[in-house]
Amino acid sequence: MIRLTALLRRNPDLSAEEFHAHWREVHAAKILSVPRIREWLVRYEQHDRVPEAPGTWTGSEGFDGMTLQWYESIDDFTAMISDPDYQRIVGPDERHLIDLANSVYLLTEEPRTILG
């Protein structure tokens, strides 16, 4: 199993509220609308940043959320992002929603459980 962990920074043209609403209500639907998405993507999670409050720590500044995406193999991940339907449906929305150059992406293998 391969997992993509992405720490996302929103497009600076969007407010935090606009980013979260679009990510939750529009972007997820676009991903699900890719005809072959279930052949490649095993699990898709969206994790919104905990709202900030005075005197609280919510993590490294500048990140708006995290996505976890699970794939059976690196080939499935590559097939998905190379797919013309994915590029046509999701690609433009990613560029609208996310500061792609300043977000962080990491592909990892099965976790080694230390506790739990």
Question: 2-51+62-108 has which CATH code?
Answer: 3.30.70.100
Token couple for 20: 């979260």
Q: pLDDT over 70 for what percent of the chain?
A: 100
Q: What confidence tens digit (pLDDT) does each residue in 25-72 have? A: 999 999 999 999 999 999 999 999 888 777 788 888 889 999 999 999
Q: Where do the structural domains in the chain lie, given as residue ranges?
A: 2-51+62-108
42: three-class secondary structure by DSSP: strand
Predicted TM-score (pTM) of this structure: 0.88
For residue 79, pLDDT beyond 80 = yes
Q: Is the dihedral of CA 101, 49, 52, 21 positive or negative?
A: positive
User: pLDDT tens digits for 16-30?
Assistant: 999 999 999 999 999
- C-alpha dihedral over 48, 25, 36, 83, to 10 degrees? -80
